[in-house]
Amino acid sequence: MISYTIRRLLMLIPVLIGMSLITFSIIHLIPGNPAQTILGEQATPQQIEQLEEQLGLNEPYFVQYADYMMGLLQGDLGTSLRTNGAISAEIWPFLAATIELTLFAMVFAIIVGVNAGIISAWKQNSIFDYTAMIIALVGVSMPIFWLGLMEQWIFAQNLGWFPAFGRGNPRDPVETVTHFYLIDTLISGRPDQFVTTLRHLVLPGIALGTIPMAIIARMTRSSMLEVLRSDYIRTVEAKGINSLSVVYRHGFKNAVIPVLTVVGLQTGALLGGAILTETIFSWPGIGRYVYDAISNRDYPVIQTGILVVAFMFVMINLLVDLLYSYIDPRIKY
Amino acid sequence: MKKGKWLVSVLALTTLLAACGGDDSEPANGGTNDGATNNEPANNEEPANGENGEAAAEEPAGDMAADQSLIFARGGDSVSLDYASVTDGESSRVTQQIYESLLFFADDSFELEPGLATEWDVSEDGLTYTFTLREGVSFHDGTPFNADAVKLNFERWADPNHEYNFADEGYAYSVYGTQFGGFAGDEGHVIEEINAVSDYEVEFVLNQQLGSFLQNMGMSYFAMTSPAAFEEFGATINENPVGTGPFKFVSWSRNDSIVLEKNEDYWQEGLPKLDQVIFQVIPDNSARLTALRSGEIDLMDGLNPDDIAAIEGEAGLAMFERTTNNIGYLGFNMDKEPFDNQQVRQALNHAIDKETLITTLYAGLAEPAKNIIPPGYLGYNDQVDEYAYDPDRAMELLEEAGLGDGFELDLWTMPVARPYMPDPERAAEVMQANLADIGVTANIVSMEWATYLEQTEAGEQDVFMLGWSGTNGDPDYFFGNLLTQDAIPGGNRTFYRSDEFDALVDQAKVSIDEEERADLYEQAQAIMHEDAPMVPLVHSRPVLAGSDRIADYVPHPSTSEPLTDVYLTE
pLDDT confidence bin for B447, thresholds 50/70/90: confident
Q: What is the pLDDT of residues B402-413, one digit of tens each?
A: 988 889 999 999
Q: Does A242 touch chain B (CB under 8 A)?
A: no
Residue of B nearest to A91 (CA): B254
A215 vs A223: CA distance, rounded Å: 12
For B326-540, CATH gives: 3.10.105.10
Instruction: Say which DSSP state A80 is in.
Output: -
- Among A36, A79, A112, select the one facing B453 at the smallest CB separation: A36
Q: Do A284 and B294 touch (CB under 8 A)?
A: no
Mean of the pLDDT values across residues B396-400?
92
- Give the gap in angstroms from C-alpha B136 to the nearest C-alpha of chain A: 32
pLDDT at B9: 54
B15, exposed or middle or buried, with CB in 10 Å at 0-12, 13-18, 19+? exposed
B425 vs B301: CA distance, rounded Å: 21
Q: Do B293 and A284 touch (CB under 8 A)?
A: no
Nearest of B536, B365, B284, B477 to residue A149 by alpha carbon: B284
- Give the gap in angstroms from C-alpha B382 to the nearest C-alpha of chain A: 26
Q: Does A324 touch chain B (CB under 8 A)?
A: no
Check whether A138 has a pLDDT greater than 60. yes
- Among B17, B170, B466, select the one facing A198 at the smallest CB separation: B17
Strand runs labelled E in chain A: none
- Give the gap in angstroms from C-alpha B392 to the nearest C-alpha of chain A: 35
Give every CB contact of residue A91 below 8 A, 6+ residues apart in sequence: A77, A286, A289, A304, A305, A308
Domain residue spans in chain B?
69-279+550-568, 326-540
pLDDT at B441: 94
Set of chain A residues whose Cβ sits within 8 Å of the Cβ of B457: 45
pLDDT at B5: 53
pLDDT at B16: 52
Helix axes A87-122, A299-327, angle to 10 degrees: 40
Instruction: Say which DSSP state B185 is in.
Output: T
Residue of B nearest to A154 (CA): B290
Residue of B nearest to A286 (CA): B255
Mean of the pLDDT values across residues A126-132?
92
Set of chain A residues whose Cβ sits within 8 Å of the Cβ of B235: 84
Check whether B375 has a pLDDT greater than 60. yes
Cis amide prior to B338 (ω within 30 degrees): yes
Q: Taking all residues of chain A, what is their mean pLDDT, rounded to a whole number?
A: 85
Check whether B251 has a pLDDT greater than 60. yes
pLDDT at A333: 56
Q: Does A94 touch chain B (CB under 8 A)?
A: yes
Set of chain B residues whose Cβ sits within 8 Å of the Cβ of A32: 448-451, 454
- Among A32, A94, A111, select the one facing B451 at the smallest CB separation: A32
Residue of B nearest to A277 (CA): B284
- Among B39, B170, B481, select the one facing A189 at the smallest CB separation: B39
A74 vs B514: CA distance, rounded Å: 59
Set of chain B residues whose Cβ sits within 8 Å of the Cβ of A280: 284, 287
Q: What is the pLDDT of residues A42-93, one digit of tens each?
A: 777 777 787 787 777 778 888 888 888 888 888 888 888 878 788 888 899 9
Is pLDDT larger for residue A89 or for residue B51?
Answer: A89
B477 vs B509: CA distance, rounded Å: 10
Q: What is the pLDDT of residues B121-170, one digit of tens each?
A: 999 999 999 999 999 999 999 999 999 999 999 999 999 889 999 887 77
Instruction: Kindly give the pairing relationship between strand B366-368 and strand B534-540.
Output: antiparallel
pLDDT confidence bin for B356, thresholds 50/70/90: very high
- Give the 3-state secondary structure of residue B103: strand
Check whether B440 has a pLDDT greater than 90. yes
Check whether B366 has a pLDDT greater than 60. yes
Q: Do A165 and B287 touch (CB under 8 A)?
A: yes
Check whether A230 has a pLDDT greater than 50. yes
Q: Do A173 and B251 touch (CB under 8 A)?
A: yes
Check whether B88 has a pLDDT greater than 70. yes
CATH number for domain B69-279+550-568, candidates 3.40.50.2020, 3.40.190.10, 3.40.50.970, 3.30.70.660: 3.40.190.10
Mean of the pLDDT values across residues A98-110?
94
- Among A112, A157, A171, select the one facing B10 at the smallest CB separation: A112
pLDDT at A332: 61
pLDDT at B42: 37
Kind and range of the H or E run holding B551: strand B550-551
B485 vs B500: CA distance, rounded Å: 11
Q: Does A276 touch chain B (CB under 8 A)?
A: no
Q: Taking all residues of chain B, what is their mean pLDDT, rounded to a whole number?
A: 86
What does the radius of gyration of chain A's CA atoms come to, in whole angstroms? 24
Q: Do B18 and A199 touch (CB under 8 A)?
A: yes
Instruction: Kindly give the pairing relationship between strand B276-281 and strand B69-74.
Output: parallel
Q: pLDDT > 70: what percent of chain B?
A: 89
pLDDT at B316: 92
Mean of the pLDDT values across residues B387-413?
92
Mean of the pLDDT values across residues B293-307?
89
Is pLDDT larger for residue A78 or for residue B352?
Answer: B352
Q: Write b or e for each residue in B296-320: b if 16 or more Cβ atoms lie within 10 A of its Cβ, otherwise e.
A: bbbbbbbbbbeebeebeeeeebbeb
Q: How many Cα atoms occupy the beta-carbon half-sphere of B221 within 13 Å? A: 23
pLDDT at B483: 93
Q: Other C-beta atoms within 10 Å of B57: how many? A: 9
Mean of the pLDDT values across residues A275-280?
89
CA dihedral B459, B463, B467, B468 (to 10 degrees): 40
Cis amide prior to A163 (ω within 30 degrees): no
B195 vs B226: CA distance, rounded Å: 18
Check whether B354 has a pLDDT greater than 80. yes
pLDDT confidence bin for B33, thresholds 50/70/90: very low
Nearest of B192, B220, B188 to residue B204 by alpha carbon: B192
- Among A37, A123, A169, select the one facing B450 at the smallest CB separation: A37
B520 vs B433: CA distance, rounded Å: 37
Residue B367 phi, psi (nearest 5): -125, 150
In what order do the strands lie in the sheet containing B128-133?
A: B117-122, B128-133, B201-206, B191-198
pLDDT confidence bin for B13, thresholds 50/70/90: low
pLDDT at B47: 36
DSSP characters for B205-219? EESS--TTHHHHHTS
pLDDT at B39: 36
Q: Do B24 and A163 touch (CB under 8 A)?
A: yes
Cis amide prior to B272 (ω within 30 degrees): yes
Q: Does A259 touch chain B (CB under 8 A)?
A: no
Set of chain B residues whose Cβ sits within 8 Å of the Cβ of A36: 450, 453-454
Q: Do A170 and B491 touch (CB under 8 A)?
A: no
Q: Do A32 and B21 touch (CB under 8 A)?
A: no
Residue of A nearest to B415 (CA): A295
Size of interface A-B (CB pairs under 8 A): 219
Give me the helices (H) in B264-304, please: 285-293
pTM: 0.84
Q: Do A288 and B32 touch (CB under 8 A)?
A: no
Cα–chain center distance at A308: 12
pLDDT at A117: 92
Q: What is the pLDDT of residues B232-245, one digit of tens each?
A: 999 889 999 999 99
In what order do the strands lie in the sheet containing B317-321?
A: B247-253, B257-262, B276-281, B69-74, B299-300, B543-547, B317-321
Check whether B34 has a pLDDT greater than 60. no
Is B454 within 8 Å of B467 (Cβ atoms)?
no
Q: Which of A118, A123, A171 to mutate to test binding with chain B, by most B CBs within 10 Å of its CB?
A: A171
Domains and CATH numbers, chain A: 1-74 (no CATH), 87-327 (1.10.3720.10)
Q: What is the pLDDT of residues A287-302, one digit of tens each?
A: 888 888 887 788 888 8
B211 vs B518: CA distance, rounded Å: 11
- Among B32, B42, B169, select the one facing A84 at the smallest CB separation: B169
Check whether A258 has a pLDDT greater than 70. yes
Set of chain A residues whose Cβ sits within 8 Å of the Cβ of B293: 157
pLDDT confidence bin for B493, thresholds 50/70/90: very high
pLDDT at A296: 79
Instruction: Kindly give the pairing relationship between strand B299-300 and strand B69-74.
Output: parallel
- Give the gap in angstroms from C-alpha B310 to the nearest C-alpha of chain A: 15
Q: What is the pLDDT of residues B118-131, one digit of tens each?
A: 999 999 999 999 99
